[in-house]
Structure 1
Amino acid sequence: MAGTVAVLRTSPVRVGGQLDESRAYFHRLFWAFPPCIEAFRHCKPLISIDGTHLYGKYEGTLLVPIAQDGNSNIFPVAFALVEGENAESWPFFLSHLREHVTPQPGLLVISNRHNGIKAALEAPDGGWLPPSAYRAFCIRHVAANFALIFKGKDARKLLVNAAYAKTEVKFHYWFDILRSEDPAMCDWANRIEYSLWTQHCDEGRGFGHMTTNISECVNSILKGVRNVPVCSLVKATYGRLAELFCSQRERG
């Protein structure tokens, strides 16, 4: 399709210690289709990013940013096939995402707390620092990390309730209950900047979104194609997105 963005990275092949310039290994691939790039211009200035592991003969990780329009329809805006979630793959993905798909100022990125994501978003020349862009942690991942230290569903629920509180008063209501259970719980939560995990401090940038759950919905779109070769995977994303856009148009 004309206008498709595709960035391929390869690795050199060495035979007996010598570089074979006639061959190369696949390393990473970023791609985005024009309809998705155009559609994102009319969506909320927010993306949810996550990785989906591939399986079978062709291993690796598919990184996918998900957007949502004003009618609550969700769709992937780009894809990247990488060797895994690490300190090199996330900057590759996020730099091309910013350059080719999401140049809008004031964009909010919702993600987990992976160190590779953190490093990429905090890079001085990456274009993801405030006020150009902002970050929020998926509260489900924060709560999961919290639950590893503090056992019990009630404590986890109190933390989530505090995160979803829309006003400072309501936040402190739940936080005070959490403190009465165990002050150490509040000490743990206070080590994370409030703007990264609480709704009352996000200045409305999250539009009520607090998790990367919409990213996981993409698994249904890619069902059955997570174990196929690269070319087949790229073709499948094109076909599945075409079906998704047509069905959403029919629903209005």
Structure 2
Amino acid sequence: MVRADASVNVNVLQNATAAHFGFRPTYRRVWMAKQKAVAIIYGDWDESYNELPRWVLGIQLTMPGSVAVLRTCPVRVGGQLDESQAYFHRLFWTFPPCIEAFRHCKPLVSIDETHLYGKYGGTLLVAIAQDGNSNILPVAFALVEGENAESWSFFMSHLRQHVTPQPANFALTFKGKDARRLLVNAAYAKTEVEFDYWFDILHSENPAMCEWANRIEYSLWMQYCDDGRRFGHMTTNISECVNTILKGVRNLPVCSLVKATYGRLAELFVRKGREAQAQLGTGQQFSQYLVKCIEANLKMARCFTVTVYDRDNSEYTVAETTPAGSFSLGSYRVSLGSHTCDCGYFQALHFPCPHALACCAYSRVTWQPYVHPVYRLSYVFSVYQMGFTPPIPEGFWPPYDGPTVIPDPSMRRPREGRPRSTRIRTNMDETDPNRPKRCGLCRQPGHTRRSCP
């Protein structure tokens, strides 16, 4: 079962053992048996660390331009430095296809971490990008001792140096779910009017949170002030999807984990490249994601009345009315020349909103020139155009003559009892005991969704 899926749950193994042998071993015994099975299949846990220096040399020979930065710590025995050995500390790596792919993706990086589940602890850091068809792909990795300022700095500095100069996202944590929801609504607002509406409500409920938010530069957390740099993304949720690509690798010895990223990415690039090539063969110009968005916006644009104010500079006003045309729902200023609209969607998402599409139809011009190149199929195809080369067999890797790399004993998981969770709890994981439970539909206290009046 472990050979078929290294991420198989220990509870599943417990049930299988009970069904096959007629007795149910403890969770700890099954966990330890799984680690031994992984070691038999994928190599010894301790020896795996010493394979990393040769892998660094081998991958740079396989694909010139690959970046692999290995950091070690000195070993001291009886107060004396042991130069024949070194503790593994950190490893950053990325591959040329990933670096090239990011140049054709949205200029946005989402970062996430996942804890290792093997004999030794540690944390896998991953940087994720997204192409114009909403496909995600990892672009850089790091193995570190855990989440701290030094390990994140190690990862982000190499990510900036080798993959992208873009800064990282940050998370907001503040007690009080209702107040946080108001702050999120204000951050997602695409216009100043919408932002002021939500921020005023927040200020009346939680002035301290408003004061805290005002200390941060608006362009760093408000969508309407970011000049479209985020392409509409305000969270790092796309990072969670990468688990399907790297499923099971955090259960493997470190060298097998690192090797698995190369193979999984090679498969991903081939599959997504074929999909993009097939779509190009049909004569389509834009990604399926964009086509769906434009179709939905075109349906909405039929109820708009357009007035031209400056034909040379493509300046318009668009009046939105009810389907029956009985009364107006508001008006918006649209500038096709500067790719802006008062609704905020045109500049945030980098393709025409319903109001801009109505202006294009009124002026008898096509909407295609107003779409960012990242949504073009040719751009999506370029993401996966550079493929991976077959890995050189380990017997042909260059020799390594440095100190033996060994695991840090402090990272060894405890031998007794059930493995403790390594999840770092934050304020968002804590519940306020004085906060009344609210209905999931009307958000009022005193009842649940089932009994909501």
- Residue number among 80, 86, 89 corresponding to 1:24 in the alignment: 86
Post-superposition offset of 1:155: 2.9
Structure 1 residues 1-252: aligned runs within 5 Å: 1-3=62-64, 4-103=66-165, 107-110=166-169, 137=170, 141-142=171-172, 145-146=173-174, 148=175, 151=176, 153-252=177-276
Amino acid at match of 2:81: L
Indicate the SS of the match to 1:76.
strand
For 1:170 and 1:190, locate their aligned partners in 2 and report how far apart those are by CA, in whole Å. Answer: 17
Distance, in Å, in 1 between the alignment partners of 2:206 and 2:78 is 61
CA distance in 2, matches of 1:17, 1:6: 31
Contact residue 58 and residue 228 of structure 1 kept, 8 A: no
Give the Å deviation of 1:162.
0.8
- Unaligned 5+ runs, structure 1: 111-136
Shift of 1:208: 0.7
Q: Which has a greater percent of strand? A: 1
Q: TM-score, normalised by structure 2?
A: 0.45
Alpha carbons 2:67, 2:93 under 8 Å: kept? yes
Contact (CA 8 Å) 1:31, 1:80: kept in 2 or not? yes
* SS of residue matched to 1:43: coil
Query: Post-superposition, which runs of at least 4 consecutive aligned residues in structure 1 deviate over 6 A?
Result: none
- Distance apart, 1:156 and its partner CA: 2.8
Per the TM alignment, residue 193 of structure 1 is displaced from its structure 2 partner at its CA by 2.9
Instruction: Output one character per residue of 1:170-216: Cα deviation in whole Å (capped at 9) or x when no partner.
Output: 10011112223343342333233322221112121111110111112
Amino acid at match of 1:67: A
Give, in angstroms, the shift of residue 77 of structure 1. Answer: 0.6
The one-character-per-residue Cα deviations of 1:8-46 (angstroms, maximum 9, x if unpaired) are 111111111111111111111111111111111111221
Distance 1:221 1:101 in 2: 20
Q: 1:198 to 1:234 in 2, by over 3 A?
A: same
When Rg is computed on C-alpha atoms for both structures, the one with the higher figure is 2
Q: How many Å separate the matches in 2 of 1:189 and 1:162?
A: 11
> Which stretch has the larger CA shift, 208-217 or 90-99?
90-99
Query: Taking CA–CA contacts closer than 8 Å with sequence separation of 6 or more, which of the two structures ends up with the larger relative contact order?
Result: 2
Question: What residue number does 1:116 align with?
Answer: none
Taking structure 1 as reference, are residues 98 and 182 closer, same or farther at Cα in structure 2, changes over 3 Å only? Answer: closer
Q: C-alpha separation between the residues in 2 aligned to 1:172 and 1:236?
A: 48
Could you tell me which amino acid in structure 1 is paired with residue 234 of structure 2? Answer: M
Over 3 Å counting, the alpha-carbon distance change for 1:16 and 1:154 in structure 2 is: closer
Using the aligned pairs only, state the percent identity: 80
- Could you list the runs of 5+ residues in structure 2 that have no partner in the other structure? 1-61, 277-453
Q: Tell me the distance in 1 between the aligned counterparts of 2:158 and 2:210.
A: 38
TM-score normalised per structure 1:
0.79
Aligned-partner residue type, residue 109 of structure 1: A
Look up the equivalent residue of 2:168 and give its one-letter code.
Answer: V
- Rounded to whole Å, the distance in 1 between the matches of 2:78 and 2:118 is 29
User: Does the 8 Å CA contact 1:58/1:227 hold for their aligned counterparts?
Assistant: no
Shift of the alpha carbon at 1:108? Answer: 4.5
Change beyond 3 A, Cα 1:55–1:173? same
Contact 1:225 1:233 in 2 (8 A): yes
Find the aligned partners of 1:177 and 1:100 in 2 and give their Cα distance. Answer: 43
Aligned positions, number: 214
Q: Tell me if the contact between 2:118 and 2:253 (Cα under 8 Å) persists in the aligned partners.
A: no
Q: Is the 8 A contact 2:68 2:94 kept in 1?
A: yes
Could you say if the C-alpha distance between residues 182 and 208 of structure 1 is closer, same or farther in structure 2, counting changes exceeding 3 Å? same
Q: 2:246–2:264: 8 Å Cα contact kept in structure 1?
A: yes
Please say if residues 67 and 75 of structure 1, whose CA atoms lie closer than 8 Å, have aligned partners that are also in contact: yes
Indicate the SS of the match to 1:109. coil
For residues 154 and 92 of structure 1, the distance between their equivalents in structure 2, rounded to whole angstroms, comes to 36
RMSD (Å), alpha carbons? 1.7
